[in-house]
Amino acid sequence: MPAPARRIPHPREKRMVFAHIDREGYTPDIACYLSNGGYEDLKKAVTMAPADIVNEVKASALRGRGGAGFPCGVKWGFIRPGETKPIYLICNADESEPGTFKDRYIIHQDPHQLIEGMIISAFALNVHLAYLYIRGEFPQGAKILEKAIAEAKANGFLGKNILGTGFDLEIYVHRGAGAYICGEETGLIESLEGKRAYPRIKPPYFPAVLGLYQCPTIVNNVETLCHVKHIVRMGGAEFAKIGTPNNTGTRIVGVSGDVQRPGYFEIEVGSMTLGELLNDLCGGPKPGRKFKAIIPGGSSAKVFRADERFKIKVKGQDGAMVEKEIGVMDIPMDFDTMAACGSMAGSGGVIVMDDTRDMVETLNNLNQFYAHESCGQCTPCREGSLWMRKITDRMLADGGVESDPATLASVSNNIAGKTICAFGEACSWPTMSFVAKFPEEFAARATKPIPPPTPPEFLSETLTGGSH
């Protein structure tokens, strides 16, 4: 593999998880990790009571970095005290949400950070067997992780009697095979059981109740598990001071598409606006162009129009909630405001389109993705994602009819909320939002008259003599 391009962190970044990413001379082996304070947090963790580590994670208010933003400590808290069944930990390294590219760098450049985060989490949760589910398209990443695991084992951080504490843990790397749905935690578990990755019917809502092999299981994202290590180091309360209340810590955002300097940035959650991210850190739009549309949190997040405005509630100077009008570029990069503006921070993948882009074409690309990746288990999603793709395909081939935008809206509205897993929302939100926010572009591609209705002699009432 060619050496990855090294990037210098932007001064407005706050690097914790990405502290060693792109550092000159930093290598993924354990010697380098140890000489940079590696596994010190594990040494600290094993002196703590497991329940105290869980409490620190709860106090940190860390929210999962995979996409849903669910509080990690709450998820961990679902494991019943005194659980008699084996408990499993799975690291979700299936990074496959379009627009997201953060786990790749942790895995390739700083694998021991992730392994250390996993060992600490396993110790806290009384896990003795953990799996690292990595997407199939990271063959080199899988090899790097396997090497890191072997090194950790050779150094007594993994295996039997870790650091003389009597705690045993094995971690195995499990490779996926190209299916996006494996990022859904119950789909991932099915896949790890050797089956098709069909997400499981809820309830139980969390694999912490019934997960891998019908045992309690915690599934966490790569970035989330890395944060656990930092929480142990600095303490949950101290971690919670980073960011804003309920939106704590740092997170890695990746910007791609039409900006001058696309890339990844680790920022304090809420410390800058979307506009600052795109203009200051990414250099703004390409020369002579203007931003047109921004997908703020991975391809599934609803799109923003660059000129859109929102009314949100914020705390005024006297502490009372007041309404405030803000533009897209003023939205802080956090979980809650992003949701209040009708989209989501999701997986932190920001995709930018400028005024040279055709929104029907853009949506069609996403529709192709979702039609391809629907697992096929639920009818609304399997059929709906395909029809949305077929309609935008037809619109691009000059076959758009006047009713197409309305049909797209209706199909998407009939998927979200009607499926076993959140893929239903994920595949319908792009169509829903693109059609609603760029009606003029969709109308311009949907000009053919609607085909004439069926002649009266073929109507069912006529055919049956009006008898039913």
Partner 1 sequence: MQIPTELTAQIDEAISHYPVSKRSASLPLLHLFQEHFGYISEEAILWIAEKLELQPIAILELVTFYPMFRRTPPGKHHIRVCKTLSCALAGAEQLKADLCKATGIPCDGHGGCHGGTPGHGDPVAVSPDGKFSIESVECLASCGTGPVLMINDDFYEAVSAEEIPNLLSQYK
Which residues form the interface with partner 1 (CB under 8 A)? 1-2, 4-5, 95-101, 103-104, 129, 135-140, 172, 174-180, 191-197, 213, 254-258, 262-264, 299, 349, 351, 353, 357, 362, 365-366, 368-369, 372-373, 375, 389, 393
User: Cβ 232 to partner 1, closest distance in Å?
Assistant: 27
Looking at the Cβ atoms of 3 and 463, the one nearer to partner 1 is 3
Q: Min. distance of Cβ 254 from partner 1 in angstroms?
A: 6
At position 80, the amino acid (one-letter code) is R
When the beta carbons of 162 and 192 are compared against partner 1, the nearer one is: 192
State the nearest-atom distance from the C-beta of 177 to partner 1, in Å: 4
Which residue lies nearer to partner 1 by CB, 192 or 208?
192
Q: How far is the CB of 429 from partner 1 (least distance, A)?
A: 14
**CA–CA gap between residue 20 and residue 366 (Å, rounded):** 33
For partner 1, give the closer residue by CB, 5 or 49: 5
Before 204, cis peptide (omega within 30)? yes
- CB burial of residue 41 (10 Å; 0-12, 13-18, 19+): buried
Least distance to partner 1 from the beta carbon of 176, Å?
Answer: 7
Shortest distance, CB of residue 289 to partner 1, whole angstroms?
Answer: 12
Q: Of 178 and 245, which CB lies nearer to partner 1 in the complex structure?
A: 178
* Three-state SS at 185: helix
CB of 79 to partner 1, least distance (A): 18
Nearer to partner 1, 30 or 188 (CB): 188
Nearer to partner 1, 7 or 23 (CB): 7
With beta carbons less than 8 A apart as the criterion, state whether 377 and 201 touch. Answer: no
- Chain centroid offset of residue 386 CA: 23
Residue (of 180, 338, 350) closest to 264 by Cα position: 350
Shortest distance in whole angstroms from residue 449 CB to partner 1 = 26
> How far, rounded to the nearest angstrom, does the alpha carbon of residue 444 sit from its chain's CA centroid?
33
Q: Is the dihedral of CA 148, 158, 101, 109 positive or negative?
A: negative
Distance spanning both ends of the chain, measured CA to CA:
70
- CB-wise, 52 or 170, nearer to partner 1? 170
The DSSP bridge pattern shows strands 247-248 and 250-257 to be unpaired
Cα separation, 328 vs 28, in Å, equals 39
Q: Two tokens at 301? A: 């997040």
| Beta bridge partner(s), residue 273 | 332
> Phi-psi region for residue 69, left (φ > 0), alpha (ψ -120 to 50) or beta?
left
Question: Shortest Cβ distance from residue 219 to partner 1 (Å)?
Answer: 15
Cβ proximity to partner 1: between 139 and 156 the closer is 139
For the bound state, the minimum distance from the C-beta of residue 98 to partner 1, rounded and expressed in Å, comes to 4
Q: Measured at the alpha carbon of residue 182, what is the angle toward residues 349 and 21, in degrees to the nearest 5?
A: 45
Phi first, then psi: give them for residue 51, nearest 5 degrees.
-65, -30
Q: What would the DSSP string read from start to end of 396-450?
A: HTT--BTTHHHHHHHHHHTTTTSSSSTHHHHHHHHHHHHHHH-HHHHHHT--BPP
Between 15 and 357, CB nearer to partner 1: 357
